[in-house]
Structure 1
């Protein structure tokens, strides 16, 4: 359902540690990694990256460009970062993207799933800090190193801050609101709601959003990133096609990067709320079959809004 700058997920982020340096926490900063890559520019702005001539680095490295002055980062934190990425091939050194351009910072969980070198690197910076990471071929898992070599990746990561602690589930007053033909059962506590969409009723032509539990947090804004739990089914069949509850992990995404029904349906919803949404095909996946969802399907979601930032 989402469209994001997915470089972190698309490449193996395994780096080897290198010597690190620090600079003043505000204003213009610059540093040179052991690879010869130079990073310059103001913090909280898109950096300027300069590459040395010749062959790209054969070894991965990272360097602390700016240590930051905010709270320390610890294991288990969820960081909001601005990320700028290049392919370093020694020729064009193509720019791959920056969250400064998209105006949608990325969220990175500092946990055991993150490569250890990044865990160590983040441990050496604070909120407001900047990291340079160079990922060469040696970073790939051994079983992938016999495959076609990928360009060396260069990352500049600016730690904006920490994401707020998300709720476990919706919390508030039940409203008794519903969509005709759809049933939501609220078991209470942190248990997942039950969504039933098997009905002979005709699907609504327009987007319908009903508040099942009204939270007490701030209303969601269109430019925010959300943590949510949800279950999605197809109108009339009760066929489930997705559920973060079953995965045991809330979803995290910029609201601007998901289907139109979510973008329009969740703006203004208070954090802590549970809503049920009926999304017509034109605001979902339209005439395209999508991961087992038939073309022209009306989608039904029950969504708990756990955090917005």
Structure 2
């Protein structure tokens, strides 16, 4: 799920994909001299709650992998940041969902530790809002697509001391509207024997089991709201709001709404009922899932979930990437 500390997982001496962060940064503004090599950190520039990153520059074509420059060894102040390149695309706004690529460079010797430019899809977990990213929010709202920001990381908990201090350069390659709840056309032909779902003013669902008897061993997938976004692929990750109940008594066991923010996860990392039920649905949709034990947790008991439980979820699909 979302992580807000810019610390990717370490493996040996190399950083794993920074996509595990669930975070990234970008840049903005119309520079007076839009030459990447001239775009140095501004010593007066600082984030609302994070210090300025001074002495780091970037060069290269906007929107492409930048070359990061600084004098080594570099003394990193943790969670420091600075815009390294000004973007030339659309300005970023509060509530935007960002897709980013990133590169991590050792503060000790300037060598590249990891890069997401050469592998997979961009990370699209970041939603620009002050609550989630207080240290960097003031930077976000000054930025544009195709800009790059540098972030200083000094991780004293890292197992390998050669990779615990580094600079991450994150480039915003695109942005889109970030949904906060399902948006689309209400589905009218819902079978009458299914549980009844009602929404409060924020969009959080509640359930009336309506005497429902789940079919043994069968996954039930019922859209409640049909979104007009792209179809979700089984190989993607999604950002979603959800609430889950036990089918036996309607008791809620989990809800992202209660946590105050959506959850981000790979469909390869969830129970089969979620992967099968959300694949092929469209972004913006709200989906009712009834998941039998065989496609849920089976004989394994989880917190608030007894063994062999049939589960009911209502899921708002906010993004897929």
Same fold (TM over 0.5): yes
Q: Let me know the Cα RMSD of the aligned residues.
A: 4.2
Return the alpha-carbon distance in structure 2 between the equivalents of residues 248 and 27 of structure 1.
Answer: 34
Task: State the secondary structure of the residue aligned to 2:307.
Answer: coil
Q: Where does residue 134 of structure 1 map in the other structure?
A: 152
Q: Where does residue 155 of structure 1 map in the other structure?
A: 168
Question: Does residue 127 of structure 2 align to residue 109 of structure 1?
Answer: yes
TM-score (norm 2): 0.66
Q: Where does residue 96 of structure 2 map in the other structure?
A: 77
Q: How far 1:22 sits from its partner (Å)?
A: 5.4
Unaligned runs of 5+ in 2: 4-17, 24-48, 158-162
Q: Residues 297 and 308 of structure 2 are in contact (CA less than 8 Å); yes or no, is this contact kept in structure 1? A: yes
1:187-217: CA deviation from partner (whole Å, max 9, x where unpaired): 5876443324486835531322122333444
* Count of matched residue positions in the alignment of Structure 1 and Structure 2: 276
1:23-80: CA deviation from partner (whole Å, max 9, x where unpaired): 43255642313xx3xxxxxxxxxxxxxxx4x6x6253444544322111224443322
Unaligned runs of 5+ in 1: 37-51, 145-149
**Which of 268, 276, 291 does residue 279 from structure 1 map onto?**
291
Q: How far 1:83 sits from its partner (Å)?
A: 3.8
**Which of 182, 199, 203 does residue 169 from structure 1 map onto?**
182
Q: Residues 17 and 117 of structure 1 are in contact (CA less than 8 Å); yes or no, is this contact kept in structure 2? A: no
Q: How far 1:285 sits from its partner (Å)?
A: 2.9
Question: Does residue 42 of structure 2 align to residue 30 of structure 1?
Answer: no
Q: Residues 209 and 275 of structure 1 are in contact (CA less than 8 Å); yes or no, is this contact kept in structure 2? A: yes
Question: Does residue 247 of structure 2 align to residue 229 of structure 1?
Answer: no
Q: Where does residue 44 of structure 1 map in the other structure?
A: none
Task: State the secondary structure of the residue aligned to 1:113.
Answer: coil
Return the alpha-carbon distance in structure 1 between the equivalents of residues 169 and 192 of structure 2.
Answer: 46
Q: Where does residue 301 of structure 1 map in the other structure?
A: 313
Return the alpha-carbon distance in structure 2 between the equivalents of residues 201 and 240 of structure 1.
Answer: 17
Q: Where does residue 270 of structure 2 map in the other structure?
A: 258
